[in-house]
Structure formats: structure tokens, C-alpha cells
Amino acid sequence: MELSLRSRLRAGHQSAFGEIFDDHADGLFQYALRALGDWAAAEDAVSLTFLEAWRLRGKLQEDGGTVRPWLFGIAANVLRNTARAARRHRAALARMPVRETVPDFTEELVERLDDSAQLAATRRALSRLGRGEREVFALCVWSGLDYASAAEALGVPIGTVRSRLSRARARLRTLAEDELAAMRDRTEPARGSGQVRGGRVGAVRSTQGRVS
């Protein structure tokens, strides 16, 4: 009798982990990238997610459907730990003496700035939501999990997922637009100086329609 995927994962079959990596690594990467805003950090988060999946394989229930909620639940925990580590790192940097730096506005940076600005604005807007709202929004909207899968991933009732997502949707569009407006204000030409700060930075488009 052929073992189910869950049974093979519990037993530590490498082929089973290869299957779930092929099926879910891209989705996990997009989830982590939107949460972290950094390619290298997102790749590290995916690697840590699969390492944790291997470590926790014995806790996976043999009965059930797709393992996607299980993987995204592990990824959510990895991102929480990553966020805590980043806060500690920023706090340590804040205690160091400040050195004056000169920004290097290269052409490549200018060309990529529009999308980067929108992602940064959306991430900052998300950071102003509660953690539960952030996680539900990222899983349901950005990663496409349904309510039941998100509830399984986070270990909360479906009703909690629905209410958190509703609150997140209600607040996020306004918060993201506020963040982009603030960015425009910071990058407008300096009055009376005859110089332009940031070049095309002020040309960022509104996120309206981008944030579900």
C-alpha cells in the first residue's frame, strides 16, 4: 500500500520533501518577500521554513489534505522570529554613533524606485496594523490561502480570520496612501534652492487598486 504524502513526510522521506519544495517554495518566497521587502531575507526565510518543516515533521497529522496551511503556518512563525531579530538589530544600530552618508542615486536605482516605493509604503502601512491582521492579510490576500487554510496555518478559528481580514482591508488602503503621500512630501524639490532632491522619486503612483 502506497503511503500518503503526509505519512512520507512524517517518516522523513527526502522525496516527499522534494515534492513539497517544488510545489510550494515559490509561494512561500512571494509571501516572505512581501513581508520582508528584501530578496535575500526572503530566500533565507524559505530555507528556514523547510528546515523547521523537517524538524517538526513528526507533529504533522497523517490525515488531512494539502500541507500548504502547515507550511505557511511554519513560515508565519519564521517571519515573526525574523521581525524580532530585525528589531533587535535596529535597536543596536540606533545606539551606535551616527555617521554622515551620501546617497548614491544611480540610474538603475531610479528606474526601480517606483515599484520599490510602493512595496515599501505598503509594508510600512502593514506594520501599522496589529500582528494578527498583518498575518491574515498576507496569507489570504498575498498568498491566496482560503479562510480555512489560513485558520489552520495560524491556529485560530475561521471567524477570527474573517474578522481580522475585514479590519485589515478597511484600514490598509488608507494607510498605504498616507505612506505614499508622506514619501512624496519628503522627495519634492527643495523650494528656492534650484535643486531637485531624489530625481523621479516623487513620481510614485498611488497604490489604489494594488492593495486588495
Domain 1-96: assigned CATH number: 1.10.1740.10
Class at the top of the CATH hierarchy for domain 105-212: mainly alpha
Q: How far apart are CA 35 and CA 24, in angstroms?
A: 17
Helices of type H across 56-157: 68-94, 107-127, 131-137, 147-154
Residue 134 pLDDT? 87
Residue 91 pLDDT? 60
Instruction: Give the residue from 174, 10, 181, 153 showing the smallest Cα distance to 80.
Output: 153
Can you read off the three cell numbers belonging to residue 183?
A: 514619501
Domain with CATH 1.10.1740.10 in the chain: 1-96
Greatest Cα pair distance, the chain, in angstroms, is: 80
Instruction: Note the pTM of the prediction, 2 decimals.
Output: 0.59
pLDDT < 50 stretches in the chain: 89, 99-113, 190-212
